[in-house]
Amino acid sequence: DPAHQINVMDLMQRFRRERNTTIVMVSHDLNLAAMYGDRLLLLKDGGIVKLGTPQQVLGKEQLEATYGCRMYVDESPLGDVPRVMPVPKEFLRD
């Protein structure tokens, strides 16, 4: 659930800072990755699509090409990170 997600991510972030180490995490939650990741690696069919900061990796066109669906990307109201939402077909306006 969301509370556990945040608790685990906060714990890992604190561990990373205290130990001055790198943590590699695999996630399908793009928003959580954007909030906590310094660098993201976007994959498709086992290959690397893009590596960089959340702002560099989580662009609308890049995500649409990778996932094959329409995406809405804006800046999160929580800070300078992208907020990503897949757009259901019923919400599409041509």
Q: Is the pTM of this model over 0.75?
A: yes
Distance CA 37, CA 79 (A): 13
Q: Show pLDDT as tens, one digit a residue, over the chain (94 residues).
A: 999 999 999 999 999 999 999 999 999 999 999 999 999 999 999 999 999 999 999 999 999 999 999 999 999 999 999 999 999 988 887 6
> Coil, strand or helix: which one is 70?
coil
pLDDT at position 6 is: 96
Rounded Cα distance, 38 and 71, in Å:
22
Which of 77, 37, 28 lies closest to 55, judged by CA?
Answer: 37
Helices (H), 1-94: 2-19, 30-36, 54-57, 60-67
**Alpha-carbon gap, residue 67 to 74, rounded angstroms:** 17
